[in-house]
């Protein structure tokens, strides 16, 4: 597919949850990762001027809150979760490079044998050279989610938007949990303050506040929906747009 249009964004930060990599059969399902990677590579092929950075979660392998709930020290449990994000990042990097897309993994926890250390200027330089950069290891400290890391990295690399990929058929932000409430309505637009005031399940409050303070929009969309990533890059409205606006 060859496209001649102008993309809506020049640099995007894609947030992938760890659960998006999993299937009932495997914590890291290669077929699912390949489907995600193929969407990204297809867009990069048609829009090489669009820089793509990715933040991955680790919930398919370990959640710090789960360990803390079982009596483990919260900081220790969170560090274990950060290691899980590195595993997911390496898996995604491998599939992307099988598809001939140059990729770098940068980890906030130093592990020189498998990933570069996170250095902001180096990350931006990789993006300028057409490489996808996957940020792993959270932000390097406990008590923060990878949602907050996504907002932080997006601000640091001057991304135009955060693309929050959902899974399990969730299309965006709803008035209630669509899995338990059949009357839940999909919202096309929502203000940052509404997310905070109404406790909407978008990203954690720290991430939302950081995005709001830096006027950084967030698109919440079904990651595995056919062509959704491409549609967003091309400017089509998909899922829910979270941005500055008056609270309701």
pLDDT score of 202 = 86
pLDDT score of 248 = 62
CATH number of the domain within which 111 lies: 3.40.1160.10
Q: Residues 6 or more apart from 242 whose CB is under 8 A from it?
A: 173, 189, 190, 191, 192, 195, 202, 208, 211, 217, 218, 219, 220
Question: Is 6 a member of any domain?
Answer: no
> End-to-end distance of the chain based on CA atoms, in angstroms?
42
Question: Is 24 a member of any domain?
Answer: yes
- 127 near 156, Cβ under 8 Å? no
Question: Is 1 a member of any domain?
Answer: no
Burial-class residue 248 by CB neighbours within 10 Å (0-12, 13-18, 19+).
Answer: exposed
pLDDT score of 71 = 84
pLDDT score of 2 = 45
Question: Is 140 a member of any domain?
Answer: yes
Q: Residues 6 or more apart from 5 whose CB is under 8 A from it?
A: 234
d(CA 101, CA 103): 6
Question: Is 29 a member of any domain?
Answer: yes
Question: Is 192 a member of any domain?
Answer: yes
Question: Is 3 a member of any domain?
Answer: no
Burial-class residue 86 by CB neighbours within 10 Å (0-12, 13-18, 19+).
Answer: buried
In total, the chain counts a number of residues equal to 248
List the one residue out of 61, 58, 53 whose CA is nearest residue 96: 53
Q: Residues 6 or more apart from 62 whose CB is under 8 A from it?
A: 77, 80, 81, 83, 84
List the one residue out of 168, 177, 187, 183 whose CA is nearest residue 243: 187
Question: Is 97 a member of any domain?
Answer: yes
Number of structural domains, the chain?
1
Question: Which residues of the chain register pLDDT less than 50?
Answer: 1-2
Q: Residues 6 or more apart from 128 whose CB is under 8 A from it?
A: 51
Domain hosting 156: range is 11-243
């Amino acid at each position: 597919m060859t496209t001649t249009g102008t993309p809506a964004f020049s640099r995007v930060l894609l947030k992938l949850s760890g659960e998006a990599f999993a299937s009932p059969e495997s914590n890291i399902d290669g077929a699912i990762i390949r489907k995600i990677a193929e969407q990204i590579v297809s867009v990069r092929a048609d829009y090489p001027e669009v820089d793509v950075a990715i933040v991955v979660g680790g919930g398919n392998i370990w959640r710090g809150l789960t360990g803390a709930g079982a009596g483990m020290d919260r900081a220790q449990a969170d560090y274990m979760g950060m290691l899980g994000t590195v595993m997911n990042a390496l898996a995604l990097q491998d599939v992307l490079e099988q598809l001939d897309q140059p990729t770098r993994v940068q980890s906030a926890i130093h592990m020189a044998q498998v990933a570069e250390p996170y250095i902001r200027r180096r990350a931006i330089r990789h993006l300028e050279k057409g490489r996808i950069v996957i940020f792993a290891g959270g932000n390097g400290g406990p008590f923060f989610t990878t949602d907050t890391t996504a907002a932080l990295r997006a601000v640091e690399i001057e991304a135009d938007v955060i693309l929050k990929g959902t899974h399990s058929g969730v299309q965006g932000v709803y008035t209630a949990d669509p899995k338990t409430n059949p009357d839940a309505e999909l919202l096309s637009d929502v203000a940052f303050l509404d997310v905070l005031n109404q406790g909407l399940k978008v990203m954690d409050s720290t991430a939302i506040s950081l995005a709001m303070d830096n006027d950084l929009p967030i698109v919440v969309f079904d990651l595995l929906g056919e062509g959704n990533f491409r549609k967003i890059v091309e400017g089509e409205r998909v899922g829910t747009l979270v941005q500055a606006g008056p609270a309701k």
